A and B are shown apart, each in its own frame.
Chain A
């Protein structure tokens, strides 16, 4: 076998190894993205205090136990979602700055709606 051909073969093998490593890494990241389950019901979220790390993506997975509720974080560009009963509502969150971010229900849900709120603490 000619040395030049060997070098090409070796380069191809190395390239394949690199691509595999990148794909595997991305897949692993996706698999390890933190998922936080949150339930909503009149007139509370559980948990209502959520701690996450700055810059690290998390997925908030909402389910409603009774009726339609909302979820909004006014200080994060008004990020919002509608949480419908019988469905899982996912909100992906990457917060680049540490701090406390209040969230609340933004769909009027009855007497007590005003108190349906919580906070995300980004560390």
Chain B
């Protein structure tokens, strides 16, 4: 089912309070998942550090730094920031891959907010099953809690066949089991869990199994990246929100014969790039605000 953004903003939702559990502490957390106060966090995605094509982004080496400066200048800082994958642009050279990861880590460290959650995209992890990523950033699937909301990071990229895989699906099932059916759950993935446009590999091969596991829970929302554009979709009662990328915009699914990046438009610099804030309000609603990337 496709719905427009206005409908979505009515549907979206989470709640909050202020203790952050480290990864893998979900089972011991507040299983009731009741709201513990409003809060907001930022979703930054697809920074593709190392990408180099001036026709697509002539400011590839400064775009992320520009965005970070903008985030640091926000009057109210978010509770935390999640990067939903493709921190780096892929390379066959394992040494270069690690160099890019070190560089992007150093740039991200410039954020004022120190509660940063990272996850891998296929550009980070698809060529070595996440080996280099894990050296730099730790596990590729984990959980954390924030103000009564259960966040679950699902890795659908380390397996280059776009799969989550049975062991991780079992982990997801075990993770969900102790939670009440009305728990507030946010799932963070890189690829869409549903079949957005398999012709462009915009899907997760076994994503339906993950959705089946999530469907009995009434308050699940998915945020993801990968497609470099805002997109909203429902599977049953579960909303799925894709974020813009921060390096190269991609065309709408199936809108052109080939999935190639959109060329830089000097008349509208950074068009199609951006990040979003997600405000958890009340019991069930999210408020999403999209921010463009602009030179300060």
In the complex, per-residue mask of A91-123: 1 if CB is within 8 Å of any chain B CB, else 0:
000000000001010111111011101000000
Check A110–B161 contact: CB distance below 8 A. Answer: no
Minimum CB distance partner of B260 in chain A: A115
Residues of chain A within 8 A of B89, CB atoms compared: 111
Check B92–A110 contact: CB distance below 8 A. Answer: yes
- Write the nearest CB–CB distance from B246 to chain A, whole angstroms: 17
- Asked if A78 is at the interface of the complex by the 8 Å CB criterion, the answer is yes
- Write the nearest CB–CB distance from B142 to chain A, whole angstroms: 22
Residues of chain B within 8 A of A72, CB atoms compared: 198
Check A106–B90 contact: CB distance below 8 A. Answer: no
In the complex, per-residue mask of B192-235: 1 if CB is within 8 Å of any chain A CB, else 0:
00000011110001000000000000000000000000000000
Q: Known A78-B198, A102-B199; judge A110-B258 contact (CB<8 A).
A: no
State the interface size on chain A (CB cutoff 8 A): 18
| Contact residue among A70, A75, A113, A115 (Cβ-Cβ distance under 8 Å from B161) | A70
Query: CA separation between A115 and B90, bound complex, in Å?
Result: 14
Check B258–A117 contact: CB distance below 8 A. Answer: yes
In the complex, per-residue mask of B79-122: 1 if CB is within 8 Å of any chain A CB, else 0:
00000000001111000000000000000000000000000001
- Asked if A74 is at the interface of the complex by the 8 Å CB criterion, the answer is yes
- Asked if B27 is at the interface of the complex by the 8 Å CB criterion, the answer is no
| Contact residue among A75, A106, A110, A111 (Cβ-Cβ distance under 8 Å from B201) | A106
- Asked if B162 is at the interface of the complex by the 8 Å CB criterion, the answer is yes
- Asked if B292 is at the interface of the complex by the 8 Å CB criterion, the answer is no
* A-B residue pairs, 5 tightest by C-beta: A108-B126, A74-B198, A108-B160, A108-B122, A107-B160
Check A114–B201 contact: CB distance below 8 A. Answer: yes
Query: CA separation between A114 and B259, bound complex, in Å?
Result: 7
- Write the nearest CB–CB distance from A76 to chain B, whole angstroms: 11
Given contacts A104-B199, A107-B160, 9 further A-B contacts (CB under 8 A): A72-B198, A102-B199, A104-B201, A106-B161, A106-B201, A108-B122, A109-B160, A111-B92, A113-B90
Minimum CB distance partner of A68 in chain B: B160
| Contact residue among A74, A107, A115 (Cβ-Cβ distance under 8 Å from B199) | A74
Check A107–B161 contact: CB distance below 8 A. Answer: yes
Minimum CB distance partner of A106 in chain B: B201
- Asked if B127 is at the interface of the complex by the 8 Å CB criterion, the answer is yes
